[in-house]
Amino acid sequence: MHFRSNKDQLFTNDSPREACGVIGVYVPEMEVSKTVFFGLFALQHRGQESAGIAVSNGENIRIHSKMGLVSQVFREDDLEYLKGFLGIGHTRYSTMGGSKISNAQPLIVDGIRGNLAVAHNGNVINADILREEITKEWGVTFERSSDTEVIAELYANTPGKDWFDVSSTIMRRLSGAYSLVIMNKNELIAVRDPLGIRPLCLGKLKNGWIVASETVALDNIGAEFIRELENGETVVINENGIKSEIWSGRRNSHAMCIFEHVYFARPDSIIDGKLTYQTRLKMGSELWKESPISADFVTGVPDSSTPHAVGLARESGIPYLETLIKNRYVGRTFIQPDQTVRDTDVKMKFNVLKSVVKNKKFIVVDDSIVRSTTIKRVVSLLRDAGASEVHVRVAAPPIKSTCHFGVDMATLNELIAYNMTNDQIKTKIGADSLSYLSLEGLLKSVEGSENTYCRGCFTGEYPIPVQLEMDKFSFEKNE
């Protein structure tokens, strides 16, 4: 498969681009490579650019990573090569550094603690400053253009009496989002940043342990879900068992990205103690309460918006109807930055059931709108099929600001809600009406207080100070 330069590509999917997926497995007297693989397979939705697995047998660390999907990267002989009882895995969507093999994870670095393999979900917003400081402090030569290498070098070289001491020192220096799985030849370390922006959970597997971005990874390999890691927590797993400490300087309540509930996490994952499918049903219910409209049927933009649409249909009493059939073999492809091609790709993804659409009034539910490319085409497809009215309902507030914590949310100039009013957007997408779920309705759906979730993409107010926009290729421009 040929991958274009990330500097030239636009994604056809109009939703925010996922964060990454991480997994770590420690099970004595067991070959864990296939376990890591199947857990990683369950996290494929979090990143589709590259995948990798590192494994240790107690004597050395072996690694295999390539560009592509998990199923494309690994073959049976690759997993046979990765022998060991301890392993970590990663599936990537780039939010800092380009989409190229040198930035595929896990990364392996060498420092005062020997070889470390590191996999990271999130985005460190002061990585450029830290990179300069580390270069001067330790004479490190950076070989990649991702913020993960900065984190890896910090864990490889920061002085400390144990991992908890090291993690505490590093948390004082890092700013941003980072859920980490780290391994040396004999230990698995898991870290969740002091804000708790990205998810990370702990499970029990036979006589060992597993950590992963989402509980679906545990389900996929038959592990028992124990709990979610606390913000600012470091967990160390080795031959002596499992130990945990929470950094004293952490935020009192986590500021997890609320989009994990809206879109990122799989609907069968438990996030912040709640089944994501249930919270999405509530979003649809609240959306109807805030913006009722007369219609014959409710439909959703498949597949991510289906739970929201079902929730709205249940609350309204209006029947839910599948009108758009998704071609599930049209992947997240890299294409020329050409609007005509983007529109064509949306058409390739969806086909409309014309006979059930003609002369009917529809409420179309989408989970979010970024640029409006997808929803505009969906409205057009329904109109072309003979729908008499198309009312769009969005199960999240308008996205008016970019993300700085591990999500590629597009630039301010590309965010349609930043540049247009609600009426202007309605006209642009060709809908009869357009309504978004309010921030209050969203917080009610996830049962969150004002201090519980990061909502910066809706409000422009973040849990820590950030610059207006960040450049994911900033390290590459300095090469």
Residue ranges and CATH numbers for the domains of the chain are 10-255 (3.60.20.10), 275-448 (3.40.50.2020)
Which position among 20, 257, 403, 457 bears the catalytic label? 20
Contact 325, 350 (CB under 8 A): yes
Give residue 350's pLDDT. 84
CA nearest to 142, candidates 109, 93, 120, 166: 109
Going by their DSSP bridges, the two strands 208-212 and 201-205 should be labelled as: antiparallel
pTM beyond 0.85, yes or no: yes
Tens place of pLDDT for every residue, the chain, 479 residues?
Answer: 222 233 333 334 465 555 699 999 999 999 999 999 999 999 999 988 899 999 999 999 999 999 999 999 999 999 999 999 999 999 977 544 444 576 789 999 999 999 999 999 999 999 999 999 999 999 999 988 789 999 999 999 999 999 999 999 999 999 999 999 999 999 999 999 999 999 999 999 999 999 999 999 999 999 999 999 999 999 999 999 999 999 999 988 889 999 999 999 999 999 999 999 999 999 999 999 999 999 999 999 998 999 999 999 999 999 999 999 887 665 544 333 344 444 555 566 788 999 999 999 999 999 999 999 999 999 999 999 999 999 999 999 999 999 888 676 678 899 999 999 999 999 999 999 999 999 999 999 999 877 789 999 999 999 888 765 444 434 444 44
Give the side-chain half-sphere CA count within 13 A for 313: 19
Q: How many CB atoms lie within 10 A of CB 467?
A: 9
Contact 30, 206 (CB under 8 A): yes
CA nearest to 43, candidates 292, 223, 268: 268
Distances (CA, A) of 321 to 268, 358, 368: 22, 13, 20
Structure tokens at 248: 């004293």
Report the alpha-carbon distance of residue 187 to residue 386 in Å, rounded: 61
Edge to edge, what strands does the sheet with 201-205 contain?
A: 61-67, 50-56, 86-92, 21-26, 208-212, 201-205, 224-228
Report the alpha-carbon distance of residue 397 to residue 459 in Å, rounded: 9
User: Could you tell me which residues come within 8 angstroms of residue 223 by beta carbon, excluding any fewer than 6 positions away?
Assistant: 203, 204, 205, 210
Q: Degrees (nearest 5) of the Cα angle 475, 477, 478?
A: 70
Structure tokens at 267: 């609907």
Report the alpha-carbon distance of residue 215 to residue 217 in Å, rounded: 5
Residue 381, judged by CB atoms within 10 A of its CB (0-12, 13-18, 19+), counts as: buried
Q: Is residue 457 annotated as a catalytic residue, yes or no? A: no
